[in-house]
Amino acid sequence: MPILASDRAPLPVAALVAAALLWPGGPAEADGAVVGIQGRDDRTPVLTADTAESAPYPWPWRAIGRLDWGGAALCTGALIAPDLVLTARHCMASRGAPIPEASGLTFAAGYRFGVAETTTAGAEILAPPAESQTQDFAVVRLATGLNIPPIPLASDDRLSLILAAPSHVVLPSYSRDRPDVLSVHDRCILDGQFGQPFWYHTCDGPSGASGAPILVGMDTDPSGARIAGVLIGYTTAGPPPHGVMIPAPVIRAFLRAQGLAIADAPAPDGRP
């Protein structure tokens, strides 16, 4: 996939890794602003009716859920196959630490106000080595596959076209300040690359949003949703935007190396 031009000078990956990348969940900035909110808070809670007893979330929201460990809210994750959940590696273990067993880890799909469409235990955690933040993503294999259509990874060609100019994306996530309802920043901007493998965006996602999927293809129809990448944190270096994600091609290459290559499966309406 070609490296796309940006009017923002790329930051050296070494500098970004050494000091400039914060994960949501870190301290507030000196002025009291919440790390992960870029300017005004543009998130909107996803409510399909006036009560918590309403119908389950529609797709793709029902394929997104909360990862919890030992009963504590942890991070956001998204189904990329019936039994695979994409999230951030630092949600599973601190940088430099080995990945633990999945015992006690659960994925609550479509979680809202204490009720999920389904809650399933994790069976295995797959992640790259912990050498750097350039590998800050993980895949949780579930003990049981879910009867929920997964969200496909965006193809390399689609991302090349989208990133040719700043493009609208969507960030759905759970967060420490909104742990019981999915919140969505609609029409934030995916605006180029720091240099492989970091790409940056303007989406709001404070503590708990780590591991959330950044979605493309939803401008006219939610059934076109594809995962452009996974949110891993925010950089404090350089001009905005400050949101950082690892893109789908990096994730797809890891899955293939694990023998878990997944096709760009159709969404529920059968789109390619």
The pLDDT tens digits of the residues spanning 21-79 come to 554 544 444 445 667 778 788 788 998 755 555 567 899 999 999 999 877 667 999 99
The pLDDT tens digits of the residues spanning 16-30 come to 333 345 545 444 444
Q: Which CATH architecture has domain 13-45+151-256?
A: Beta Barrel (2.40)
User: Looking at residue 32, what is its pLDDT?
Assistant: 54
At 191, is the pLDDT very low, low, confident or very high (cuts 50, 70, 90)? Answer: confident
Name the superfamily (CATH) of residues 61-142.
Trypsin-like serine proteases (2.40.10.10)
Domain boundaries, the chain: 13-45+151-256, 61-142
User: Looking at residue 19, what is its pLDDT?
Assistant: 33
Average pLDDT over residues 109-121: 94
pTM above 0.95, yes or no: no
DSSP letters for the chain: -PPPP-SSPPPPHHHIIIIIEE-TTSPPPTTSPPTT--SS---EE--SSSSTTSPPPPTTGGGEEEEEETTEEEEEEEEEETTEEEE-GGGTS-TTSPP---TTEEEEET-BTTB-SEEEEEEEEE---SS-GGG--EEEEESS--SSPPPPBPPHHHHHHHTTS-EEEEEEEEETTEEEEEEEEEEEEEEEEEETTEEEE-----TT-TTPEEEES-SS-GGG-EEEEEEEEEE-SSSSP-EEEEEHHHHHHHHHHTT--------TT---
The answer to whether the 13-45+151-256 and 61-142 domains have the same CATH topology is yes
